[in-house]
Structure 1
Amino acid sequence: MKIKYQIFVSSTFEDLVEERELVIKAILEMGHIPVGMEMFSAGDEEQWKLIQRQIDDCDYYVVICAHRYGSQDGDLSYTEKEYDYAFSKGIPTLGFVIGDKAEWPVNKSDTDTQKKTSLDLFKNKIKKKLISYWQNKEDLYGKVSIALMKQFTTNPGVGWIKSNELAGPEVLIELTRLSKENSNFREEIKQLKFKIEAEETSKYDKLIASLRNHEINLSFYYKNGSDWEDSEKLSLYRIFKLLAPECMSELSSVDTAMYLSYFKTQKERELRATFPVPRNTIKQIFADFVVLNLVKPSLKKHSVKDENEYWTLTEEGIMVYKEIRRQIIDNPKSETETNSDGNDKKEITNEKTSKK
């Protein structure tokens, strides 16, 4: 009887698409059954239960590791979470870690210090079991094939056998049940994906609506002026859309005043150098962004003499800005906003004001 083994292939996804395809191809060419995490969407409790059940049914577990730690559930990446679960179930694990001298694109590597540290710890965990180092996708393809063949011989799993090679109708009944169950799982996964995407879109739409509906009164102090001028109500939406690209790194309160000067109406007049926009207005803007969980204080280190406040986008702030940009790209003509006097005004699209 020819036994087919089921093999779970785990890795970070976007940076290892081609490598995963070759590993899955190698498993199929050997006549066995690959199971990939791309069948699931990480981050949902019900989907994690489905992934656990798939790992439970596998005979071997393969983990591929390059230079990304991947998306996380708390302190652990989903890849490491899968690895720990397979190990806890006593499933033979085979690790394939990229070699230190292997060429690898910079844009497929983590730059965040915490993620790099977590990745190093994860690699050390993998190295405690069976491991191979690979230099490129072709090298990985060969080493996975060889390592699995050795496992099949020295550590054979339970595997699967074709129904016509077994006696009794109960086997056919069980296979039919499993096939139907698998089909139901796929439909559940599909519906869960739709549900999550719809919930996320709805959440971001609500935040964008809050930004559009809330207004800030903005005034300017011109050079050689004697008082605040050009008082105008602006939506938080317009302000967030202007400041968000700068906040992706970090933005100081001083620079915020400079960027907000884009909204001044007397373009020919020069603003005063120090806080041409009221400090309390800037504080109110960022306080509102904090309430909506769009920004947070920056953790980058600055000189002890630097008394500026620095802000950066939260993960939610990044997603809201992405949704704003997506809507603009999909329908740029819709980007108008009604002023307090009832007239339509063209929205600003991330134009920067040059520093004086």
Structure 2
Amino acid sequence: MYAIAHDADTLAWNEAPSPGPLSERQVRLRVAWAGVNRADLMQRAGGYPPPPGASEILGLEVSGSVIETGSGVRQYQVGTRVCALLDGGGYAEEVVVDERQLLPLPDGLDLRQSAALPEVFATAWLNLFMEGALAPGERVLVHAAASGVGTAAIQLCRAFGQPCFVTAGSDEKLTRCRELGAEDGWNRHHGSFVETVKAWGGADMILDPVGASYLPDNQAVLNADGRLVVIGLMGGRHAKLDMGRLLMKRQRVIGSTLRAKPADAKGRILSALHEQVWPQLANGEIAPLIDRTWPIAEAEAAHAHMQQDANVGKLLLEVSGER
């Protein structure tokens, strides 16, 4: 098979060994489309190694067709079209994955559209409704909201009745976020978001991929009993925590990553998506938001586009091109 080989400076579409023999609950997929995530850039730079035993090949989500099943697989058969949440290995013609990390395509969506779903909607669902424990009507602040995870989170908030305020890097991105359902937003280049978010009503829960540089302002806008869920460190890893504010307002700071969770935990997240979100994808209430696509051999251009924060929604790589 062919796969992307990488280092900090280059991505190359080269021949590679096929993933090894299947364990009892694994399936082998022929990859049609692969999603691009900021975690791929971090891994390439040496800052986000794959979990033990996972493929060193980049790529955390794909769509494709089952071409082989392990002896214990019952839910999927050869030929089934699926999307998958991976531990790694997605930038390739084939990938091996535990069946619990698969989902059937939502009704009415093709392989291209479905490749834009697993990582971002699993991340958004996990952190909004499981880690963040959102209750009906609670107010949500989403940072870096034009990203794949951000645009998924906005749509989930709209669909499940959570008022949502966003921050993003341009007025154009804020316009797109409002079109997706955000009530209001703030351009991060205009300074601190604190006063605007306070005037909006503060936040009961914050979804934050930025980290250290936003911690003081996040604490300032977090309401009593509020939860700050940190899912990334684009703004650094070290910051001063106001312990007095933390205690007086009963704030909680939660660190969350998805990639290293075991297959059964990922399976529970995907089962919730299948039950709660897949019907809304089928009826059009929620939709995958795809910014641009490139052939897999041009993955370097996709990474450069993401590095420049130029995207609104998902970036995809075309592997087989099957729809």
Larger radius of gyration: 1
Higher helix share: 1
Higher strand share: 2
> Whose RCO is larger (CA < 8 A, sep 6+)?
2
State the TM-score, normalizing by the size of structure 2. Answer: 0.26
State the TM-score, normalizing by the size of structure 1. Answer: 0.24
